[in-house]
């Protein structure tokens, strides 16, 4: 199974305890970050298949998949004070566009305020210059 190594919560806790870290009441959120927007793994038959495979291997199927683009999109809101963990939880329950719209209304900033927007625009402008 592709994701089985990261999903073994007891192994994670044991490794940390072996080097002196002790946690009480720790809750882990397993997040798979992908370079492709793999919508089929968010819900539906493919997600069900992965969860069934986890169950066979006695692995907790409480996991979330996020596209790296989602992280890029939330950057301006996090820097303006939005709670990172709440945003991750929202992505698990709501559509990406709904999460982003809520962030805009809470922080009064947009993607254009983030530092990634500047790099994106510089990249696009350089491409345009090279084509002329």
The answer, yes or no, to whether residue 6 has pLDDT greater than 50, is: no
Residue whose pair of structure tokens reads 């986890």 in the numeric block? 54
Look up residue 120 and give its two tokens: 């994106």
Look up residue 127 and give its two tokens: 């491409």
Q: Residue 103 has what pLDDT?
A: 93
As a residue count, the chain comes to: 132
Lowest mean pLDDT among 45-54, 73-82, 119-128: 45-54
Q: Let me know if residue 2 belongs to a domain.
A: no
Range of the domain at 91: 9-131
**Structural domains counted in the chain:** 1
Q: Let me know if residue 21 belongs to a domain.
A: yes
Mean residue pLDDT of the chain comes to: 79
Q: How far is the C-alpha of 53 from the C-alpha of 7, rounded, in Å?
A: 12
Cβ–Cβ under 8 Å, residues 71 and 103: no
- Mean pLDDT across 119-126: 90
Q: How far is the C-alpha of 101 from the C-alpha of 43, rounded, in Å?
A: 22
């Amino acid at each position: 199974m592709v994701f089985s190594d990261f999903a073994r919560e007891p192994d994670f806790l044991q490794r940390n305890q072996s080097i002196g870290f002790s946690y009480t009441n720790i809750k882990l959120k397993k997040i798979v970050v992908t370079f492709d927007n793999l919508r089929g793994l968010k819900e539906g038959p493919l997600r069900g298949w992965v969860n069934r495979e986890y169950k066979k291997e006695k692995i907790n199927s409480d996991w979330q998949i996020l596209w790296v683009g989602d992280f890029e999109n939330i950057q301006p809101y996090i820097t303006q004070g939005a709670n990172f963990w709440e945003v991750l939880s929202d992505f698990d329950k709501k559509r990406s566009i709904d999460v982003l719209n809520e962030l805009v209304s809470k922080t009064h900033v947009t993607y254009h305020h983030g530092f990634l927007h500047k790099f994106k625009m510089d990249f696009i402008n350089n491409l345009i210059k090279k084509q002329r």
